[in-house]
Structures are given as C-alpha cells and as structure tokens.
Amino acid sequence: MSVVALCSAHGAPGVTTAALALCWSWPQARPGRRVLLVDADPAGSGLLTGYLSPGVPDSVGVSVLAAARGALTPEQVIGCSLALDAEGARMVLPGVADPVQARPLGSMWTALVSAARDLSDAGVDVVVDVGRVGHQFEPRVWLTQADLVGVVVAGTVASVAPAAAAVRGLAVERTGRLAPVGVVTDAGGYSRVQIAEAMGVTEVLELAADEWAARAFAAGEVAGWRFERSPLLRAARAAVERVGALVPERAVLR
C-alpha cells in the first residue's frame, strides 16, 4: 500500500480529524507498517492550530522539504517529519500556516508523490490531508495519483450534494485507478447505503461521531485507555482494515 488522500467538498466535515484518526490507528490495524500523515491543506494547516499547536521545530515541515533540490528520498522526507510516538510508527509532515506559503509547493508535491513509492518499499504508508477541494494552490496531484481517495462528508444534504459533484469529477480524473470512496464522520441518521447512493460511490468508510475523541486530538491529549477504546478509534481501526482490503499491497504510483 502507499497513499490514501482525504479531501472534502464543502464546509468542515472533519478531514483533519479523520486523517489523524486513521494515522493513529494505522500501526494497530496494519501491524508491521508505519504511517506518515502529510499535512497538505493549502488553506492552512488544521494540525498547526490543533494537535501541533504547542509548536514544531523549524527543521520540519513541507516548507523545509520544498527547499531540497532534485528527487526526494525517504530519508529526506522522514527527516523533515515529526514522530508522534516513541517508536516512530506514526509520523507527521507539518503543513503551512498561511495560504500564501502554499504557492511555491506545487513541484514539491509532485516530487513527494513520487517518493511515496520508495516510502512504501521502506514500510511507510502515507495518509494525506488535502483539505477542501478547489483551492487556488490545491495539491491536485495527490487526488489524481493517490492509490485511494476518500471524500469526507457529514450526513447532511449540504455536505453530501457537493461531495457527489466532487466524486464525479475525481472519477473522471482517476480513470484507470480506484474510484473515490466516501468517508462519513457523522451519518446524521442516514444509513451507509443511503450516503453511498447520494454520493455516487460504491464504498463508504464510516467514522464515529465522537466529540470527546475529536477534542482529544485537537488538544494533543492522545493517551490512556479511554482514548484508545473510544468509538472514533475503534471505527478508525475498522476503516484502516477496509482500506487495506481495497488497496493492493505495495501499490505503485505511476
């Protein structure tokens, strides 16, 4: 496996929380694999104002990586990333705080997508928080070349209707690759089948509406049995297992 990209089409249905939940659950759901969360939202990082709000070293982040010349190596990427646990099984590549900083990152994203193949060979899978689609400096390459794209929605008409349009557009751009899937963060009383039909997808990954665990992620308080057994983390582990079934092992980006 290599790259899973998450995006939204309207509002704030919880892309960053979904990405964090998948990242945190990854080593448990896929033993022997590490995971890198790439913070690629060009509108400004939700991690820097939440989970990473205590601050990050000046030596890490996408802007630091963008200063590298030529092809990116796994060592460079990991060197610019921040470990989220003592074992380094969960890592994050912090993004930008200001949308203006996203302007010069286009070529770096392309190089990083290419580096994802080598990262996968080194046992590191990649989850990407792309944010809301349609931004001027959108890292579109993640959405067109990722092994799997998840469009994140809440169970409301206001969220699902624009998501359906995004799914149609992405499906055309991703001809020959896996079609987009839905990722629902709060079903709002709708069934998975109803949401799938409304979005025009054949697969929906469901994450629990768990405000307590979402707040814990935002505060960086990710320890203790209550957190690990929270509905969000349990659902995220099941979602990662399903992703593993959908995406061929050691998929190669082309």
pLDDT band at 249 (very low <50, low <70, confident <90, very high): low
Pick the range with the lowest mean pLDDT from 88-92, 138-142, 249-253. 249-253
pLDDT in tens, 138-186: 999 999 999 999 999 999 999 999 999 999 999 999 999 999 999 999 9
83 vs 249, residue with greater confidence: 83
Question: Facing residues of 8 across strands?
Answer: 132
Is 86 part of any domain?
A: yes
| For range 60-81, the mean pLDDT | 92
Is 252 part of any domain?
A: no
| pLDDT for the residue numbered 71 | 84
Is 76 part of any domain?
A: yes
Is 253 part of any domain?
A: no
Q: What is the CATH number of the domain that holds 240?
A: 3.40.50.300
Q: What's the full length of the chain, in residues? A: 254
What is the C-alpha separation between 205 and 127, in angstroms, rounded?
15
Q: Is the pLDDT of residue 10 over 90?
A: no
| For range 73-82, the mean pLDDT | 96
| For range 97-119, the mean pLDDT | 93
What is the C-alpha separation between 140 and 204, in angstroms, rounded?
22
Helix, strand, or coil here: 169? helix
pLDDT band at 85 (very low <50, low <70, confident <90, very high): very high
Is 46 part of any domain?
A: yes
| pLDDT for the residue numbered 250 | 53
Is 242 part of any domain?
A: yes
Nearest to 128 by CA among 188, 119, 235: 119
| pLDDT for the residue numbered 253 | 43
What is the C-alpha separation between 184 and 186, in angstroms, rounded?
6
Is 40 part of any domain?
A: yes
- Residue 163, amino acid: A
How far apart, in Å, do the first and last CA atoms of the chain sit?
14
| pLDDT for the residue numbered 12 | 84
The domain total for the chain is 1
Give the burial string for 211-250 (b: 16+ CB within 10 Å, else e): eebbebbbeeebeeeebeebebbbbbbbbbebbbeebeee
pLDDT in tens, 126-149: 999 999 999 999 999 999 999 999
pLDDT in tens, 17-56: 999 999 999 999 999 999 999 999 999 999 999 999 989 9
Q: Which domain holds residue 32?
A: 3-246
163 CB burial (10 A radius; 0-12, 13-18, 19+): buried
Where does the chain have alpha helices with state H? 15-29, 62-66, 74-79, 106-121, 140-145, 157-173, 192-199, 211-219, 225-228, 231-246
| pLDDT for the residue numbered 69 | 76
Is 125 part of any domain?
A: yes
Where does 97-138 have alpha helices with state H? 106-121
